[in-house]
Structure 1
């Protein structure tokens, strides 16, 4: 089966393309948002094929997986007039929690009953107004990086992209107080200048942008994973940290309360409680390792790759029937 999808979210796509199909990924000169092609920093199998818009007109496509509203028009034009939902089966994958007037935020697919709308968390489905669209939840799956945790560095790992721009969404304003409890290593895109922005010395808030394999190894050396995010979908980096065997210290917001069970870390809406948990893990490395082992087991059971791919196969079969 040939599945057309754009390269929008590298971590999520890495799990999805482990399935049994051929995955057609548009590519454009310059590899901008509408044509990134294959990932440069993630390991994707040979079943992921780059296709230009001209070539796509000639390709047989069994399913279109859309992830942005503009892809409805892109798909119709690049498929030579074949309309998603009429001429070729379609699903729309929603990665994000709604923004703006959240209780009343209308999803772009709300008036598209021909589209199956797939959410990555139950939290997302709850908070989006999905109107007449058929909705399904397929929770995240992770390609298991293995139990790499050593926790040898008494520091907290944080993974967030663009923390200065995203500010309160990502809990960036909480970092100065949390950095007093545990020095932070913040990994992600466009993190440079974060320490100066927060008024922190570099030793209390270091930053780096690493490729996936190096990122996992670096995270696993830190004593704990800190997730200060106020409003987002469920960050895949949180689930990756759990797979690595890291104990979690996280705000009890969005889907984190479902993902992190008791004994795998500390969840709270009180930043001072998170700071206390971070201090405890720095002082008690054995407790950190024990909680991290429980976090890994919980993540394997709920967010394992096989369950994820099986769930997607059911959705694909239903949409094409």
Structure 2
């Protein structure tokens, strides 16, 4: 099957392109948001091909996977075809939780029946007003990165991209509160901005590639997921596959993602900090919980399940 999909979220896309299809990703000279092309810091298979807008008009696709509202217009303009029943079979992946007032949480495809909305969590499907649009849930899938937990650093680790811009969404204020009681390291794109904002209680900050991020994460005794309003963090699931125990703010899909054996999910930052303090004194407990986290992640978020569910959906849409 020939599938067109914009490179929006590198980690999600890395899993998606592992399937048995041909994948085409739009590319622009500046590799901006609408034309990133192939990933530069992730390993993608040779089945992923870059195409510029002028090449897209003559290319043939069996399906298009949309991820942002403006991609419907972009696809029509660049290919000369419409996404959906009157053109190229399409699905829309909703990566995000809704914003604004709860009464305004109607999805922009809610009035259409020809483009299924693919939610990445059951929470997302429940919280969005999907109207008459068909919906399906395909939860994240990640490769098995292997068990690498070490836990010798006396600090938690959190992975947050652009934490200052996404302050309340990412739970940066909650992280700050926990960091006054337990050291926390923060990694991700744009974390250098933290240096001018908060220093007390934070162990270190920095921007790293995925491979190096994984190498650093496993040195810490636990993973902190402080997000208030996110669908489900791929970094959280990756941390679990690596064997890290989890402390997560009890919001959105966290309760379904992290079982009790793998750590603690709570709406109270203080309870999370107390658990972290206990783990610092009893290092065997986080190690055991990390093994449980890995087992759960492989069972529920394994790549084979993810790809099988996507294959079934694409086959149905293209039938």
Q: Report the TM range for the smaller structure's normalisation.
A: over 0.9
Consecutive unaligned residues in structure 1, runs of 5 or more: none
Corresponding residue number in structure 2 for 1:88: 88
Corresponding residue number in structure 1 for 2:234: 236
Where in structure 2 are the equivalents of 1:212-223 lying within 5 Å?
A: 212-223=210-221
What CA distance in whole angstroms lies between the structure 1 residues aligned with 2:227 and 2:306? 24
Corresponding residue number in structure 2 for 1:31: 31
Corresponding residue number in structure 2 for 1:206: 204
Deviations 1:272-317 (A, max 9, x none): 1000011112222111110000000000000000000001011111
Corresponding residue number in structure 2 for 1:251: 249
Q: TM-score with structure 1 length normalisation?
A: 0.97
Check whether the contact 2:92–2:116 (CA below 8 A) recurs between aligned residues: yes
Q: TM-score with structure 2 length normalisation?
A: 0.97
What CA distance in whole angstroms lies between the structure 2 residues aligned with 1:66 and 1:215? 28
Check whether the contact 1:103–1:127 (CA below 8 A) recurs between aligned residues: no
Q: RMSD between aligned alpha carbons?
A: 1.2
The match for 2:298 among 274, 287, 300 is 300
What CA distance in whole angstroms lies between the structure 2 residues aligned with 1:253 and 1:82? 37
What CA distance in whole angstroms lies between the structure 1 residues aligned with 2:165 and 2:80? 39
Consecutive unaligned residues in structure 2, runs of 5 or more: none
Q: SS where residue 64 of structure 1 aligns?
A: strand
Cα distance, 1:314–1:81 mapped onto 2, change above 3 Å: closer
What CA distance in whole angstroms lies between the structure 2 residues aligned with 1:103 and 1:170? 23
Deviations 1:170-204 (A, max 9, x none): 11112232113321110111111314313x33x73
| Runs of 4+ more than 6 Å apart | none
Check whether the contact 1:247–1:292 (CA below 8 A) recurs between aligned residues: yes
What CA distance in whole angstroms lies between the structure 2 residues aligned with 1:281 and 1:103? 42
Check whether the contact 2:279–2:286 (CA below 8 A) recurs between aligned residues: yes
Cα distance, 1:106–1:300 mapped onto 2, change above 3 Å: same
Equivalenced residue count is: 319
Corresponding residue number in structure 2 for 1:129: 129
Check whether the contact 2:83–2:90 (CA below 8 A) recurs between aligned residues: no
Deviations 1:46-68 (A, max 9, x none): 00000011111111100000000
Check whether the contact 1:178–1:274 (CA below 8 A) recurs between aligned residues: yes
Corresponding residue number in structure 2 for 1:46: 46
Corresponding residue number in structure 2 for 1:194: 194
What CA distance in whole angstroms lies between the structure 1 residues aligned with 2:137 and 2:39? 25
What CA distance in whole angstroms lies between the structure 2 residues aligned with 1:265 and 1:83? 43
